[in-house]
Structure 1
């Protein structure tokens, strides 16, 4: 997968927009960041700590916590070169769900579990 794939999938999500975070592309829902594209060719997504632990344990070649305090808050690197579309889409939808207001999630039937 590539940064362009992240952009395409992220912007398909309801009310998602692309802006910039410290000069790097980011993806937001209602002005809250759910994913970023740092310059290293990977993506960073917003997960809960439990989701992060599950994804990193299940797919360690794809997911790892961001270094430092941000990683302890659930921010997770997705190694795009190792990801397939299904896995990347699932991670981005999860990050979107974690960020979108409940009314928006329900309106688009993406409330999840």
Structure 2
């Protein structure tokens, strides 16, 4: 189980991330782009992934990580159940969401391009 304060701490540890209200939710942004939001009513995090990454993360258990069930889900928006997700899986998914929307210079700080040495 991931507590909201743990989620907040991880999200805000990414370069140039800010926390801002988004309707009745809390959003985490890099620049003006949202990479994650929190719905306290349902204890769900919603993250922005590519459709391919969404499929990869959802394959382990579609009751823990799953596409938003509407047109937003078809664009990569993905729910994570904080009560049930494994911490390492959550951190990987949140990093991936950050890198999906962050400028390359910032995402490289989180996930360096290992192919540069080749």
Q: Which residue is 2:83 aligned to?
A: 81
Q: Which residue is 1:12 aligned to?
A: 13
Q: Distance in 2 between matches of 1:30 and 1:100?
A: 8
Q: Could you tell me how far 1:3 is from its partner in structure 2?
A: 2.1
Q: How many residues align?
A: 112
Q: What residue ranges of structure 2 are gaps of 5+ in the alignment?
A: none
Whether the 8 Å CA contact 2:50–2:76 is kept in 1: the answer is yes
What SS is found at the alignment partner of 1:82? coil
Indicate whether 1:23 and 2:14 are aligned. no
Residue among 58, 65, 68 paired with 1:66:
68
Q: After the TM superposition, which parts of structure 1 deviate over 6 Å for at least 4 consecutive aligned residues?
A: none
CA pair 109-27 structure 1, distance change in 2 beyond 3 A: closer
What SS is found at the alignment partner of 2:27? strand
Q: What residue ranges of structure 1 are gaps of 5+ in the alignment?
A: none
Question: Structure 2 length as normaliser, TM-score?
Answer: 0.86
Question: Structure 1 length as normaliser, TM-score?
Answer: 0.90
Alpha-carbon deviations, 1:37-56, whole Å to 9, x = none? 01311100101101111111
What SS is found at the alignment partner of 1:81? coil
Q: Which residue is 1:44 aligned to?
A: 46
Alpha-carbon RMSD across the aligned residues, in angstroms, is: 1.6
Q: Distance in 2 between matches of 1:63 and 1:109?
A: 22
Alpha-carbon deviations, 1:69-97, whole Å to 9, x = none? 11010000001111122111111100000
Whether the 8 Å CA contact 1:10–1:27 is kept in 2: the answer is yes
